Amino acid sequence: MERRFVKTLFAMANICYLASANVSHTTKWAEYFVARGHQVHVISFEPGPCLSPNVHFHQLRPKTRNGLRYFLAAREIRRLIKQIEPTLLHAHYATGYGTLGRLSGFRPYVLSVWGSDVLDFPKTSALHRALLSSNLNSADRVCSTSHVMAREIREFCKRPITITPFGVDCSVFTPRKNKAEAASEFVIGTVKTLEPTYGIEYLLRGFALLNKRYSGPRSLRLMIAGQGFLLTSLQKLAHELGISGETEFLGFVPHRQVPDLLNRLSVFVAPSLMESFGVAVIEASACGLPVIVSNVGGLPEIVNDGVTGFLVPPKDPEAIAAAFLRLLENPELPNEMGRAGRRLVLEKYEWFDTATRMEQLYDSLAYRKAPAVCELA
């Protein structure tokens, strides 16, 4: 797919990110704006092994490993920002790097919320709620990946909110020939961190039910990519359910290898108990896969139930197994859903369209223009 770069919206800028440098979302933003001709700095406690040499990387040295590190780094942040002299500061994650962004005192300042920072953090205590509110209200603009999360943000701040969903490069995440649907296997898979919030237990239980009920010609396999502290207990559960022979735990899969993995699957499953957006789901849809996801959080925004996949109740192995059987018993349905899912991603979540929306936001803040992007009132 041809990359649809638009004419540069603002003069060459010096953009500074406060964000974890070892996650793919940070890398994508930094590399996009470098490719657009801007100077980009990333300030992070975490190493940035995937950042190109064209990105100026500044690693902070934490004085402690807990949340106090964000407060203790305030002086260093102010020193670095004075040295960098950015056109604009953008922090990612409201309750970590968002604290650093607020303490920097720099303007103009954008704060992106990712999920648990708004959905989980404020439930801990009144102090946590107050910290989140202070961080959100310190920004000139708050960005949310989904409308459902924007409504949560509105409880804590009155700042303008812009919807900036995570995008997918559809030239990389794309269907390929000889996909699993046409093979003799029916391969179910997911790419998730092995933590309770992602509900992998219910995927295993749903697969076990399918394994007992399906008697058709295709062999069944389950592939689980990701690492996390639940690995041992999930492997034990697979053994107890009698599906360990059909289940493969792949461990951590680098993001650059995820398209290859997705193209080995027949269906992608995200049985999350909570999900602010679900970028892994739209990556799967971009690869032409039908998706089965929990009807929670931002997932209903990215899945058209019955068209691009199925929405199922959370913690419901029976509903997951029933969705599997519908796909197996209707041979054309997976292909139809896969094609519809890719169309949806191309229309609403293509990476370069999403990045252009962020560039328009930067332009409006850097030069105090009327915003050219949609906001949630």
Q: What is the pLDDT of residue 337?
A: 98
Residues 130 and 258 in one domain: no
Q: Indicate the pLDDT class of residue 369, thresholds 50, 70 and 90.
A: low
Residues 153 and 258 in one domain: no
Residues 159 and 234 in one domain: no
Q: pLDDT tens digits, residue range 141-199?
A: 999 988 888 988 988 988 888 988 888 999 999 998 655 445 689 999 999 999 999 99
Nearest partner of 110 among 376, 372, 298, 363, judged by Cα: 363
Angle at CA of residue 208, ends 203 and 209, nearest 5°: 100
Residues 335 and 192 in one domain: yes
Report the C-alpha gap between 278 and 165 in whole angstroms: 10
Which of the listed ranges 9-18, 176-185, 337-346 does the model predict with the highest average pLDDT?
Answer: 337-346
Q: What percent of the chain has a predicted confidence (pLDDT) above 90? A: 69
Q: Is residue 44 part of a domain?
A: yes
Q: Mean pLDDT across the stretch 239-255?
A: 96
Residues 41 and 159 in one domain: yes
Residues 372 and 329 in one domain: no
3-state secondary structure of 51: coil
Higher pLDDT, 363 or 345: 345
Beta bridge partners of 146: none
3-state secondary structure of 70: helix
Which of the listed ranges 39-43, 91-95, 253-257, 277-281 does the model predict with the highest average pLDDT?
Answer: 39-43
The HSE-up count of residue 144 (CA atoms within 13 Å, CB side) is 29
Q: Is residue 174 part of a domain?
A: no
Determine which of 19-23, 114-118, 141-145, 162-166 has the lowest per-residue pLDDT on average.
Answer: 114-118
Q: Is residue 371 part of a domain?
A: yes
Q: Is residue 9 part of a domain?
A: no
Residues 240 and 107 in one domain: no
CB 94 within 8 A of CB 135: yes
Determine which of 156-165, 166-175, 213-222, 366-375 has the lowest per-residue pLDDT on average.
Answer: 366-375
Residue 377 has pLDDT above 80, yes or no: no
Q: Is residue 151 part of a domain?
A: yes
Nearest partner of 150 among 179, 190, 118, judged by Cα: 118
Q: Is residue 5 part of a domain?
A: no
Q: Is residue 230 part of a domain?
A: yes
Helices (H), the chain: 24-35, 69-72, 74-84, 97-104, 116-119, 126-137, 147-154, 200-213, 231-240, 258-262, 279-286, 299-302, 317-329, 333-348, 351-366
Higher pLDDT, 317 or 121: 317
Q: pLDDT tens digits, residue range 66-97?
A: 889 999 999 999 999 999 999 999 999 998 99
Q: List the domain range (segments joined by +) for residue 55.
A: 14-167+350-376
Q: What is the pLDDT of residue 119?
A: 76
Residues 160 and 85 in one domain: yes
Residues 145 and 249 in one domain: no
CATH number of the domain bearing residue 98: 3.40.50.2000
Residues 119 and 152 in one domain: yes
Q: Is residue 1 part of a domain?
A: no
Q: What is the domain count for the chain? A: 2
Residues 196 and 271 in one domain: yes
pTM of the model: 0.84
Q: Mean pLDDT across the stretch 326-331?
A: 95
Higher pLDDT, 254 or 323: 323
Higher pLDDT, 11 or 374: 11
226: left (phi over 0), alpha (psi -120 to 50) or beta: left
Q: What is the pLDDT of residue 305?
A: 97
Residue 376 has pLDDT above 80, yes or no: no
Residues 318 and 355 in one domain: no
CB 185 within 8 A of CB 221: yes
